Amino acid sequence: MAISFKVIKEDTESRARLGQLETPHGTVQTPVFMPVGTQASVKTMTPHEVSQVGGEMVLSNTYHLYLRPGHELVAEAGGLHRFMRWDGPILTDSGGFQVFSLGPLRRITDEGVTFRSHIDGSELFFSPEISMDIQMALGADVAMAFDECPPYPCSYEETRKATERTTSWARRCLKHHNRKDQALFGIIQGGVHRDLRLKSAAELSAMGFPGYGIGGLSVGEPKPLMYEVLDYLIPAMPGEKPRYLMGVGSPDCLLEGVARGVDMFDCVLPTRIARNGTVFTRDGKLVVRNAEYARDFSPLDPECDCYACRNFTRAYIRHLIKANEVLGIRLTTIHNLRFVLRLMEDIRTAIAGNHFSEMKTKFLRRFKTD
């Protein structure tokens, strides 16, 4: 087995739990948030900096790396870890989410998906087997099964078909995947339909994956609906396997996800809004590029311990962003990732100390959401 997972402690007032995920590239404490390095780089950051803000495991994208620079080149470089010089664990997604997000550009059959490259428009084809081949070449510690991710909203009938296909594709992935130093996680689909979610969970669980992704959430549905799905879905998932809620990363959703039993998260949100001049503070988001911060000589977040907050003012960072200086988005990215990763540290400390629910309530009372 490439990875092993053990639950260290379970919270008594919620489904939150502490765990340890052992991988060929080190052990990760869960609940964990994985920064996203779409194109083999966590945008604007060196691997050293990702590590410094507390990043332990990163995610990279099969679809993007397949298109550029190509998985054969990455394999030739010695695999993704060596190519991008990240010595910790890596997870690659299956490419499914990306090829399905391309919308009108794609055609789905039981065999796989025909889609067009967002770079040069060329016609390409992904199947469960191809996704496995690419991910095995990339060589991450965790690969994800190739799934069909329906949009939101989506009719019951269409969701049912996508869920069935996801199950059949999961079987093909399992059959094709043969890299011993890489774990393959299944992905549960089913949209916001309870019976489909439970069916998907049952079918995937029966296949005995070493971990499970929860796909098809955080795709535009209201947050309470996502929480509702997690409420009934997670108890139907294997308790001894890591549960990974894909594409979730806002501070409030991280807390609510952990409370419902999620062990792993990834999301571009913290780094994406950073490049837009928006940062997290304990009071909520702050748009530092706004004129009101032009003469604000305090740090982005006075309670933060990151490099940006220890050294620079809102006024300077706003200036850099307005002047299109790369250092500006480097500093907001460092801060936002540190904010989220420190939140995960606080969450783990709280679970360990039996005060997670209290910590969650306190954080959410202060943190203003949109």
Decide if 217 contacts 199 (C-beta within 8 A).
no
Segment near its own copies (CB under 8 A), from 17-25, 72-80, 230-238, 258-266? Answer: 72-80
Q: Is 133 annotated as a binding residue?
A: no
Tokens of 275: 């490049």
Task: Check the annotation: does 253 bind a ligand.
Answer: no
Q: Is residue 120 a contact partner of residue 68, using CB atoms and an 8 Å limit?
A: no
Are the C-beta atoms of residues 1 and 210 closer than 8 Å to each other?
A: yes
Given 130, 187, 264, 329, the residue binding its own copies (CB under 8 A): 329
Nearer to its own copies, 84 or 91 (CB): 84
Of 77, 198, 236, 268, the residue at the interface with its own copies (CB under 8 A) is 77
- Of positions 76, 123, 303, 305, contacts its own copies by CB under 8 A: 76
- Euclidean distance between CA atoms 299 and 266, whole angstroms: 26
346 is catalytic: no
88 in a known ligand binding site: no
- Does residue 97 belong to the site contacting its own copies (CB under 8 A)? no
335 assigned binding-site residue: yes
83 among annotated binding-site residues: no
What is the phi/psi pair of residue 105, to 5°?
-80, -5
The CB-of-140 to its own copies minimum distance in angstroms stands at 16
> What token pair was written down for 207?
């296949």
Q: Which residues 286-325 are close enough to bind its own copies by CB under 8 A?
A: 294-295, 297, 307, 311-313, 315-316, 318-320, 322-323, 325
- What residues have CB less than 8 Å from 275, skipping those under 6 apart? 43, 44, 329, 332, 333
Give CA–CA dist 40/84, Å, rounded: 6
Say if residues 170 and 199 touch (Cβ distance below 8 Å).
no
Under DSSP, is residue 182 helix (H, G, I), strand (E, B) or coil? coil
Using CB under 8 A, which of the segments 44-52, 106-114, 151-159, 282-290 binds its own copies? 44-52
Nearer Cβ to its own copies, position 47 or 251? 47
Under DSSP, is residue 147 helix (H, G, I), strand (E, B) or coil? coil
> Which is the catalytic residue, given 11, 93, 141, 301?
93
Write the CB contacts of 205 (distance below 8 Å, at least 6 apart in sequence).
Answer: 212, 236, 237, 238
- Which tokens in the block code for residue 175? 């059959």
Stretch that binds its own copies, among 68-76, 192-200, 245-253, 336-344 (CB under 8 A): 68-76
The verdict on whether 266 is a catalytic residue reads yes
Neighbours of 138 (CB within 10 A): 25
Could you check whether the bond before residue 24 is cis, i.e. omega within 30 degrees of 0?
A: no
45 touching its own copies, by CB under 8 A: yes
Binding annotation: 93-97, 147, 189, 216, 304, 306, 309, 335
Q: Which residues are catalytic?
A: 93, 266
Residue ranges that bind its own copies, judged by CB under 8 A: 39-41, 43-46, 64, 68-69, 73, 76-78, 83-85, 294-295, 297, 307, 311-313, 315-316, 318-320, 322-323, 325-330
